[in-house]
Structure 1
Amino acid sequence: MAGPVHPARGVSYPVTALFMVGVFLLGAAFIASYVGGLHAPHPHRVPVAVAGPADATARVDAALRREGDAFDLRTYPTTASARQAIQHRDVYGAYLPQQGRLLITSAFGPTTSGLLRSAFAPVAAADGLRLSVQDVVPADPGDPEGLVPFYLVIGWIVSAYLVAAIVGLYRGMAAITLRDALVRLAAFAVYSAVAGAMGTLIVETGYGYLPDSPWPLTGVGALCVFAVAAATAAAESLLGIIGTALTILVFVVLGNPSAGGPWPLPLLPAFWRTAGPWLPNWAGTEAVRNAVYFDGHALTRPLLVLAAYAAAGIVLFLLLAGRTNPVMRFPAHSTA
Structure 2
Amino acid sequence: MAETPGPDGRSPGRSPAATPLGRFRAEARDAITPRAALVMLGVLVLELAFVVSYIGAFHSPTPERIPVAVVAPEAERRAVIDRLNGIPGEPLSGRPADGVAQARTMVLEREVDAALLVAPDGRADRLLVASAGGPSGVQALERVLQQADPSQPLRITDLRPPNEADGRGLAPFYLAVGLVVGGYLASAAVSATYGARPANPHRMLIRLGALTVLSVLSGLGGAIVVDLVFDALPGHFAALWWIGALTTFAAAASGMAFQVLLGPMGIALSVLIFVVLGNPSAGGVYPSALLPPFWRDLGPALPNGASVTLLRNYAYFGGHHTATAWWVLSAWAAGGVLASALAARFRRGHRPPEPAAATGV
CA apart distance, 1:68: 2.8
The 3-state SS of whatever aligns with 2:164 is coil
CA apart distance, 1:110: 2.3
Alignment of 1:205 onto 2:225: no
1:114 maps to amino acid: Q
2:251 and 2:94 map into 1 onto residues whose CA distance is 36
The aligned runs of 1:277-292 (5 Å cut-off) are 277-292=300-315
The 3-state SS of whatever aligns with 1:116 is helix
- Native 8 Å contact 2:81 2:95 kept in 1: no
1:232 maps to amino acid: G
Q: Which residue of 1 aligns with 2:324?
A: 301
1:323 and 1:147 map into 2 onto residues whose CA distance is 45
Tell me which of 182, 207, 210 is aligned to 1:184.
207
Alignment of 1:115 onto 2:140: yes
Q: Which residue of 2 aligns with 1:219?
A: 242
The 3-state SS of whatever aligns with 1:320 is helix
Tell me which of 42, 53, 56 is aligned to 1:33.
53
Tell me which of 143, 168, 173 is aligned to 2:191.
168
CA apart distance, 1:39: 1.6
2:310 maps to amino acid: A
Q: Which residue of 1 aligns with 2:288?
A: 265
Alignment of 1:78 onto 2:99: yes
2:147 and 2:185 map into 1 onto residues whose CA distance is 50
Evaluate the alpha carbon distance shift between residue 133 and residue 124 of structure 1 in structure 2; reply closer, same or farther with a 3 A threshold.
farther
Higher RCO (C-alpha under 8 Å, 6+ residues apart): 1
Q: Which residue of 2 aligns with 1:315?
A: 338
Q: Which residue of 2 aligns with 1:105?
A: 130
Alignment of 1:276 onto 2:299: yes
Tell me which of 88, 91, 96 is aligned to 2:112.
91
Q: Which residue of 1 aligns with 2:81?
A: 61
1:86 and 1:293 map into 2 onto residues whose CA distance is 12
- Native 8 Å contact 2:307 2:329 kept in 1: yes
TM-score, normalised by the number of residues in structure 1? 0.89
1:20 and 1:66 map into 2 onto residues whose CA distance is 48
Which of 303-312 and 131-140 deviates more?
A: 131-140
CA apart distance, 1:264: 0.7
Per-residue Cα deviation, 1:16-46 (whole angstroms, up to 9, x for no partner): 1111100110000000000001121100111
TM-score, normalised by the number of residues in structure 2? 0.83
Alignment of 1:49 onto 2:58: no
CA apart distance, 1:114: 1.3
- Native 8 Å contact 1:97 1:124 kept in 2: no
2:320 and 2:193 map into 1 onto residues whose CA distance is 41
- Native 8 Å contact 2:254 2:336 kept in 1: yes
2:148 and 2:45 map into 1 onto residues whose CA distance is 48
Per-residue Cα deviation, 1:136-156 (whole angstroms, up to 9, x for no partner): 111111223111100000000
- Native 8 Å contact 1:110 1:144 kept in 2: no
Which of 210-219 and 56-65 deviates more?
A: 56-65
Which of 90-99 and 49-58 deviates more?
A: 49-58
2:310 and 2:178 map into 1 onto residues whose CA distance is 15
Q: Which residue of 2 aligns with 1:15?
A: 35
1:212 and 1:66 map into 2 onto residues whose CA distance is 40
Evaluate the alpha carbon distance shift between residue 175 and residue 324 of structure 1 in structure 2; reply closer, same or farther with a 3 A threshold.
farther
2:125 maps to amino acid: G
1:145 and 1:133 map into 2 onto residues whose CA distance is 17
> Paired residues, what number?
315
2:55 maps to amino acid: V
CA apart distance, 1:100: 1.4
Evaluate the alpha carbon distance shift between residue 41 and residue 323 of structure 1 in structure 2; reply closer, same or farther with a 3 A threshold.
farther
CA apart distance, 1:122: 6.1
**Any stretches of 5+ residues in structure 1 without a counterpart?**
1-9, 326-336
CA apart distance, 1:290: 0.8
Per-residue Cα deviation, 1:267-298 (whole angstroms, up to 9, x for no partner): 00011111111100000000001111110111
2:191 and 2:320 map into 1 onto residues whose CA distance is 37
2:256 and 2:64 map into 1 onto residues whose CA distance is 36
CA apart distance, 1:126: 4.8
Q: What's the RMSD between the two structures over aligned residues?
A: 2.1
Q: Which has the larger radius of gyration?
A: 2
